[in-house]
């Protein structure tokens, strides 16, 4: 009876994507471990980016920094 806990940031993951995650995780257990899909549990936890850190920074800050860098890069590209 596998229990799979998927943690993702809460950044616009739609219902179809969640269904695909559940299906993919379940299929992996069937293919690799020959588990019964009827007894395979998949739980998706969406974590606010303020509550997820990478290195010393919150993901919220890292996302804002990445967006700012992308804007600067696009402005500096020659036409």
- CA–CA gap between residue 10 and residue 12 (Å, rounded): 6
Any catalytic annotation for residue 2? Answer: yes
Which residue among 1, 2, 11, 49 is the active-site one?
A: 2
Catalytic residues: 2
């Amino acid at each position: 009876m596998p229990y799979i806990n998927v943690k993702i940031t809460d950044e616009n993951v739609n219902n179809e994507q969640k269904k695909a995650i559940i299906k993919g995780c379940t299929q992996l257990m069937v293919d690799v471990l020959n588990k019964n899909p009827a007894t395979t549990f998949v739980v998706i936890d969406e974590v606010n980016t303020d509550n997820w850190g990478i290195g010393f920074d919150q993901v919220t800050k890292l996302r804002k920094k990445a967006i700012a860098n992308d804007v600067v890069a696009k402005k500096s590209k020659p036409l």
